[in-house]
Amino acid sequence: MRIAVLGAGAIGAYAGAALQRGGADVHLIARGAHLEALRTDGVRVLSPRGDFTAHPHATSDPAEVGPVDFVFLGLKAQHYAAAGPLLRPLLGPSTAVVAAQNGIPWWYFHGIGGPFAGRRIHTVDPGGAVSRAVPVERAIGCVVYAATEIVRPGVIRHMEGTRFSIGEPDGTVSARCRAFSEAMTAGGLKCPVEPELREDIWVKLMGNITFNPLSALTRSTMAQICRDRSTRGLARAMMAETLEVAARLGVTPGVSIERRLAGAERAGDHRTSTLHDVERGRPMELDVLLTAVVELADLTGVHAPTLRAMDAVARLLNERLADGTAGATAPVAPPTPAPATAPAPAP
């Protein structure tokens, strides 16, 4: 099986290394110092499940790879519309594109019935640009539950999670999904084929829509947000409004708000990818995580005042990041340990 990873960053390189270890013929598309390290030393994965090194082919030129069976799309969703020229050389007649993105995907209303069947979500597919770059009939959805980061070029730290849930937009359990799942499993990852992948999308989104913008706006970690009474209440309100939108679309995620908050608090002083972007002066991945849900709230008649307020202030910050007037910031410092003589916190 030939697999190209377009966007071999933290998640893409980790998945590609696992696939190569499992026996697939993997080709990583990367650039810069990261590409040079991949070419020279392969992908070094540091993981509590065991460190390993894989040596997939790495290049900056997709034409050097040619058509493959699967493209694992590791780009952030805001780059999908411009990905057409990079993707095109990798596509054969039956190539599937496994889109490992956060938030609401461009294919969300594809392959289903009901009043919104085939509807375009303009926030995530403006003017059909993403659908032209990544045709919906090639798309396999993917919800990522793994946490990884690039330690240095070519070196990926895997912190937790090995699950990559996949599914067809129309809910069928297809041969191509089963084949990709088997390849991922052979590499040591979990890759269930989910007929109801939209439920997974909303479960993951409950956290992303809340903690990504909140962490960026407050420069705080997930645990800090959860431990503060006011921001915990704000997070709870955002999740409740998100679930109301999901319910209007016929999806009821099987995870309660309190369980989702407790899980985020257990993550400790984890800085979200959005916070990392803001610290580096980069625009946030905002449209698919928050603005798209506001569009869906308009579509379904949900008031969602908290989401709308958060979207307004986050979009203003994104504009300042895009034009360079916000600037980069220092990383969040870890909390200062309490003195040894300090009284124990109340249970």
**pTM beyond cutoff 0.75:** yes
CATH architecture of 2-195: 3-Layer(aba) Sandwich (3.40)
CA pair distance 71, 60, nearest whole angstrom: 15
For residue 327, pLDDT over 80 is answered with: no
pLDDT tens digit string along 225-269?
999 999 999 999 999 999 999 999 999 998 999 999 998 888 778
| CA atoms of 192 and 177, how far apart (whole Å) | 9
Angle at 292 between CA 287 and CA 298, to 5 degrees: 145
Residues of the chain with CATH 1.10.1040.10: 198-322
Q: How far, in Å, CA of 306 to CA of 324, rounded?
A: 27
Using CB atoms within 10 Å of the CB of residue 32, give its burial: 0 to 12 exposed, 13 to 18 middle, 19+ buried: exposed
**CA 29 → CA 12, 19, 64, 149, 300, distances in Å?**
9, 15, 10, 17, 39
- With a pLDDT cut of 90, the percent of the chain lying above it is 84
Q: Where in the chain is the domain with CATH 3.40.50.720?
A: 2-195
Residue whose C-alpha is closest to residue 99's, from 37, 168, 33, 174? 168
Mean pLDDT of the 323-332 span: 69
As assigned by CATH, the class of the 198-322 domain is mainly alpha
Query: What residues act catalytically?
Result: 204
Alpha-carbon gap, residue 324 to 327, rounded angstroms? 6
